[in-house]
Structure 1
Amino acid sequence: MATYNRIGATYARTRRPDPRIAARIHRALGDATTVVNVGAGTGSYEPSETVWAVEPSTVMIAQRPAGAAPALQASAEAIPLADDSADAVMALLTVHHWDDLETGIAELRRVARRRIVLLTFDPAVSRRFWLLDEYLPEAATIDDTHAVAIDRLVTLLGGARIETVPVPHDCTDGFLAAFWRRPEAYLDRQVRSGISLFAQISDDVIQPGLARLDDDLASGRWADRHAGLLQLETLDVGYRLLITDV
Structure 2
Amino acid sequence: MPLADDSADAVMALLTVHHWSDLETGIGELRRIARQRIVVFTFDHDVSRGFWLLKEYLPEAVAVDDTRAVAVDRLVTLLGGARVETVPIPHDCTDGFLAAFWRRPEAYLDPQVRAGISMLAQTRDEVLQPGLARLSEDLSCGRWHRRHADLLDREVLDVGYQLLVADL
What is the CA distance between 1:243 and its match in structure 2? 0.3
Stretches of structure 2 that go unaligned for 5 or more consecutive residues are none
| CA deviation after TM superposition for structure 1 residue 134, in Å | 0.6
Shift of 1:144: 1.4
Instruction: Give distance in 1, aligned partners of 2:121 and 2:144.
Output: 25
As a proportion of its length, which structure holds more helix?
2
C-alpha deviation, 1:97, in angstroms: 0.7
- Structure 1 residue 193 displacement after superposition: 1.5
Give SS of 2:11's match: strand
Q: How far has the Cα of 1:151 moved from its partner?
A: 0.7
Check if 1:188 corresponds to 2:110: yes
Match of 2:25 in 1: 103
Could you tell me which of 138, 146, 161 is aligned with 1:239? 161
Residue 56 of structure 2 is aligned with which of 113, 117, 134? 134
Q: What is the SS of the residue equivalent to 2:100? A: coil
Query: Which residue number corresponds to residue 39 of structure 2?
Result: 117
1:87-118 deviations in Å (ceiling 9; x for gaps):
11111111011000011001100111111011
Secondary structure in 2 matching 1:178 = helix
Aligned to 1:91, what secondary structure does the other structure show?
A: strand
Following TM superposition, the consecutive aligned residue runs of length 4 or more in structure 1 with deviations greater than 4 angstroms are: none
**TM-score w.r.t. structure 1 length?**
0.67
AA at the equivalent of 1:233: E
CA–CA separation in structure 1 for the residues paired with 2:44 and 2:31: 21
> How many residues in Structure 1 have an aligned counterpart in Structure 2?
168
1:108-138 Cα offsets, whole Å, 9 max, x none, are 0011111101111111111110000111111
Match of 2:140 in 1: 218
**Identity over the aligned pairs, expressed in percent?**
76
Q: 1:154 maps to what in 2? A: 76
In structure 1, the residue matched to 2:7 is 85
- What's the RMSD between the two structures over aligned residues? 0.8
Amino acid at match of 2:74: R
Q: Which structure ranks higher in relative contact order (CA pairs < 8 Å, sequence separation ≥ 6)?
A: 2
Residue 75 of structure 1 is matched in structure 2 by none
Letter in 2 for 1:157: L
Output the amino acid matched with 1:118. V
Amino acid at match of 1:185: A
Q: Show the counterpart of 2:86.
A: 164
What is the distance in 1 between the residues matched to 2:38 and 2:31? 7
